[in-house]
Each structure stands twice: as C-alpha cells, then as structure tokens.
Amino acid sequence: GESVGLHLPTLSVQEGDNSIINCAYSNSASDYFIWYKQESGKGPQFIIDIRSNMDKRQGQRVTVLLNKTVKHLSLQIAATQPGDSAVYFCAENNRGGKLIFGQGTELSVKP
C-alpha cells in the first residue's frame, strides 16, 4: 500500500494493493465525518461514516480512522480494484445541516 501526505490531490496504486487516503478537517467541534466516492460525471456516493465518539469503523473492504487530537481522518481501501478509481472526498458536519467537504484525492488504480 501507499500512504500520501495531506492535501496531495492524486494517488496511484497497483491493483490488489491497499490504499490510504488522508484528510484534515477544520472544525474541532465537528461530530460526524463521512467519506464519499465520486466518479466522473456522477454525484458523490456514500462509502462510510464515523461519529466523533469513535476512532475506527470498518465496512466492506474499507476502514475509516479518526484522530481527533490532530483533526485527521483517513480512508483505507483493502485490495484496491480498478473499479475503485475515482475522486474521494471527506466531509464534516457539526450538528447542522450542511456538510463541509475537503479538496478531494483522485485515486488511480493500475492493473
């Protein structure tokens, strides 16, 4: 797998490797975080979410880690597949209606 620094817009991995996508959030009062996957020309698709009272949550092939101390969120994708190629956005919510999105990371999976 390959880890990227914060705010890096692209990540290229080999099919079958693990991917780690990082995100920094801005508001220490945010209590809900969510990862979306967006393919070209489509709307964001929900992947996984986590509340601030947790530090880890697992889904199918995906894991989200939350570090509130440094306001950092990461998305881990196991055994990355070509269909995982997309832009991934993290978003935060502070008990309000709106989501605040990060810049996004473009994941490219090489066969």
Partner 1 sequence: DTGVSQNPRHKITKRGQNVTFRCDPISEHNRLYWYRQTLGQGPEFLTYFQNEAQLEKSRLLSDRFSAERPKGSFSTLEIQRTEQGDSAMYLCASSFPTADTQYFGPGTRLTVL
Nearer to partner 1 (CB atom), residue 44 or residue 80: 44
Q: From the CB of residue 4, how many other CB atoms can be counted at a distance below 10 Å?
A: 18
Of 10, 27, 45, 81, the one binding partner 1 (CB under 8 A) is 45
Q: Please report whether residue 97 would count as binding partner 1 according to CB under 8 A.
A: yes
Task: Tell me if 80 sits within 8 A of 19, measured CB to CB.
Answer: yes
- Could you say which of 13, 19, 104, 107 contacts partner 1 (CB under 8 A)? 104
Q: How far apart are CA 96 and CA 24, in angstroms?
A: 19
Q: State the nearest-atom distance from the C-beta of 103 to partner 1, in Å.
A: 6
- φ/ψ of 64, rounded to 5, equals -110, 135
Q: Does 91 bind partner 1 (CB under 8 A)?
A: yes
Cα separation, 49 vs 89, whole angstroms? 12
Task: For residue 9, give the nearest of 30, 19, 23 by alpha carbon.
Answer: 23
Contact between 83 and partner 1 per CB under 8 A: no
For residue 61, the minimal CB distance to partner 1 (Å) is 19
Catalog residues that contact partner 1 under the rule CB under 8 A. Answer: 32, 34, 36, 41-46, 49, 89, 91, 93, 96-104
